[in-house]
Amino acid sequence: MTNTAPVSAPIDLSLYPETATLDDGGRLTLGGVAVADVVERFGTPLYVVDVASLRIQARRYIDAFASRHARSTVMFASKSFPAPAVIRVLAAEGCGVDVASTGELVIARAAGAQPGRMVFHGNAKTDEDISSAIDAGVGHIVIDNLDDVDRIARLATSPVPALLRVSPHIAASTHSSLSTGHDSSKFGVPSGQVNDVIARIRRESMIDLQGIHAHIGSQILDLDQFEAEVRALSMIERFPVYDFGGGLGIRYVRSDAAPSVDDYADRMVGAMHRHLGEDVDLIVEPGRSMVGRSGITAYRISTVKRGVRTHVAVDGGMGDNLEVALYGQAFEPAVLGKEGRATTVDVVGRFCESGDQLVRDAPLVDPHVGDIITVPATGAYCYTLANNYNAALRPPVVFCDDGAARVVVRRETYDDLLQRDVDHAHR
């Protein structure tokens, strides 16, 4: 059975990038470019990024922390959107880069980011990871375990600046897969072992332990939990550097409420000054809250199947947005250029999984085959987790800026799918 409900605002622009507008004809524009025109030119599915939004958010973060604590560094968590073009924009605005693998380090360096303004993470670093971080001269390697200690001691030829990742013993209010600050997490040193590990590190002449790192999770909307993180770290001996990770959440649907960057900075810096003092270096690592709102995904409707439930199927899905299947994340799609009464439908993808469902019970206005659907707040982790399920082609990334659109990551081709298959030519 299909239900209808009135909708006063088919598109909530507060979920869309900073420059998003709707003209009198209901045409959505980003960076001065009509999304419908971008779709006609580059096809679907498609990631569209508003470059001005990236710049604005980078400046917002840097200003918020620097104005409250001069010795602050904002490191973009590149895992949230590991594309050189994105990193290049954020680095140009003054952000450092958080990388968690040799691959992310290679991408960040290709973007022109300076290794000395990077931190290198990872709970299971290999010899290659440690060597690449040392050879590049990254600002800090984040030690996650005693095996990291052994590897650095064996591979380094001069003292390596390091931070120790610890568990602040906080079970963050977020999806279980996004909670990383509790003692049973695979990340960091459990709270009861921290002092022993610090003592072990100090016996190694090739490790210069400069500070402490913690990260309690992702998509966190309760600022009290960040204050609790700072208090937990204050129970450890004092260090000159503190890296509090990232984790600030964003709005995905109009009913969400998320703290502002200023509110976040107020609480983090205030807690640090109270519990750790003012004569320390502060690092934060925003990812989702840096890029999430800057991107949208555009699809075309492929089929509309009406029955017990109405399924509106698009030409993408879990191949370009795994956040729904992995974390149950809610999104708010809209049919481009339409206003009026909405039909309650399930927006599903094209992939051969019942779990390939983008939004259940979504209010869409008059969905028909060929219509363009936009999904806001997909600038974080959707590109990161894109995959080739059903041999689908991963979407391109298009930058919109100052009235122009350009491809910064091209769409995959079917030839790309065969590039690593060294055997097919011999069959």
pLDDT value, residue 192: 85
28-30, strands of its sheet edge to edge: 21-22, 28-30, 33-34
Catalytic member of 95, 352, 382, 400: 352
Per-residue model confidence (pLDDT) at position 171: 55
Q: Report the distance separating Cα 205 and Cα 228, nearest Å.
A: 33
Pairwise CA distance, residues 221 & 257, whole Å: 8
| C-alpha to C-alpha distance for 313 and 404, rounded to whole angstroms | 30
SS3 string of the chain?
CCEEEECCCCCCHHHCCCCCEECCCCCEEECCEEHHHHHHHHCCCEEEEEHHHHHHHHHHHHHHHHCCCCCEEEEEEHHHCCCHHHHHHHHHCCCEEEECCHHHHHHHHHCCCCHHHEEECCCCCCHHHHHHHHHHCCCEEEECCHHHHHHHHHHCCCCEEEEEEECCCCCCCCCHHHECCCCCCCCCECHHHHHHHHHHHCCCCCEEEEEEECCCECCECCHHHHHHHHHHHCCCCCCCEEECCCCECCCCCCCCCCCCHHHHHHHHHHHHHHHCCCCCEEEECCCHHHHHHHEEEEEEEEEEECCCCCEEEECCCCCCCCHHHHHCCCCCCEECCCCCEEEEEEEECCCCCCCCEEEEEEEECCCCCCCEEEECCCCCCCCCCCCCHHHCCCCCEEEEECCEEEEEECCCCHHHHHCCCCCHHHC
Q: Give the CA distances from residue 399 to residues 167, 307, 404, in Å, rounded to whole numbers and listed in that order.
A: 38, 39, 8
Verify whether residue 382 is a known catalytic residue. Answer: no
User: Are 3-50+293-418 and 52-291 in the same CATH fold?
Assistant: no
CATH number of 3-50+293-418: 2.40.37.10
Report the distance separating Cα 216 and Cα 211, nearest Å. Answer: 17
CA separation for the pair 403, 396 (Å, rounded): 19
Rounded Cα distance, 427 and 423, in Å:
7
The span from the CA of 385 to the CA of 418, in Å, is: 20
Give the per-residue pLDDT at 242: 97
What is the architecture, at CATH level 2, of domain 52-291? Alpha-Beta Barrel (3.20)
Partners of 21 in beta bridges: 29
- Residue 374 confidence (pLDDT): 97
Segments of the chain scoring below 50 in pLDDT: 1-2, 4-9, 172-181
Residue ranges per structural domain of the chain? 3-50+293-418, 52-291
CA 103 to chain centre: 16
Facing residues of 342 across strands?
Answer: 5
Long-range Cβ pairs for the range 277-280 (8 Å, 24+):
277/238, 278/69, 280/71, 280/211, 280/238, 280/239, 280/240, 280/241, 280/242
**Cβ proximity of 363 and 344 under 8 Å:** yes
Are 242 and 280 contacting, i.e. CB atoms less than 8 angstroms apart?
A: yes
Q: What's the pLDDT score for residue 426? A: 58
The token duo for 324 is 């729904």
Residues paired with 35 in a beta bridge? none
Q: Which two tokens stand for residue 188?
A: 């960091």
Is 0.85 surpassed by the pTM of this model?
Answer: yes
Judge contact between 21 and 364, C-beta under 8 A. no
The CA distance from 254 to 13, in Å, is 9
